[in-house]
Amino acid sequence: MTASTTSTTSGGEAAGPTDVELFERFGGADVDHDTKEHYRGLLQRRLLLNRCGHCGWWHHPPLPRCPRCRSDDVVATEVGGQGTVYLLTFMHQGPAAPDVDYAIPYPVASVELDEQPGLRYTAGVVAGPVPPAIGDRVHLVWATRGDRPLPMFAVGDDRHGGGRG
């Protein structure tokens, strides 16, 4: 792989930012061969998580092989972004970040996504009038930090929807 490699679709056309653009935009992040499609998706405001083409098992963080069947037929696939708060913490301090004021506890949640039991993604939760809680139904929203899209979750109108629908 060269640094100028681009992702392509099945039709052969370019599907997004080049590898060079990924490294430039996500400097300091763990962008490598296994994670680059996830980061490429973020720049397109698409949450891409790995799914096995052999057995259909979703997994995150990205790995080169399916943890269930060990197939190397792993494809970054867009998720719907709906889920249930599985784990929740409120950060009172942390690294400096635009638009983050730690004087107000900053909620970060591990969300179990609807695609599969046990498939979780961790991100910030958009602050609302009522703090989020474990078990709340949430949906994916996008913020911008610096020049990068950032996936976050927002509590839905059906906040206590009872889990998967």
Q: For the segment 55-73, what is each residue's pLDDT rounded down to a tens digit?
A: 999 999 999 999 999 999 9
Residue 87 has pLDDT above 60, yes or no: yes
pLDDT tops 50 at residue 163: no
- Cα(58)–Cα(96) distance, integer angstroms: 32
pLDDT of residue 17: 78
Residue that terminates a domain, selected from 29, 53, 78: 78
Residue listed under structure tokens 């695609």: 115
Neighbours of 65 (CB within 10 A): 15
d(CA 48, CA 14): 17
The answer as to whether 11 is a domain residue is no
User: Dihedrals φ, ψ of 155, to 5°?
Assistant: -70, 135
- As a whole number of angstroms, the distance between CA 150 and CA 148 comes to 6
**Which tokens hold the place of 121?**
């993604």
If residue 20 lies in a helix (H) or strand (E), which one and from where to where?
helix 19-25
One domain for residues 146 and 91: yes
pLDDT digits over 101-142, tens only? 888 889 999 999 999 999 999 999 997 888 999 999 999 999
Structural domain includes residue 165: no
Report how far apart, in Å, the C-alpha atoms of 152 and of each of 57, 95, 113, 123, 139 are: 23, 17, 13, 5, 8
57 and 94 share a domain?
no
Domains held by the chain: number: 2
What is the domain extent for residue 39?
Answer: 19-78
pLDDT band at 5 (very low <50, low <70, confident <90, very high): very low
- pTM over the 0.85 mark: no
Confidence of residue 13 (pLDDT cuts 50, 70, 90): very low
The verdict on 97 and 137 lying in the same domain is yes
Q: Is the pLDDT of residue 19 over 70?
A: yes
As given in the structure block, the two tokens for residue 158 are 């059906």
Of 101, 81, 93, which Cα lies nearest the Cα of 142?
81
Given pLDDT bands bounded at 50, 70 and 90, which one contains residue 9?
very low
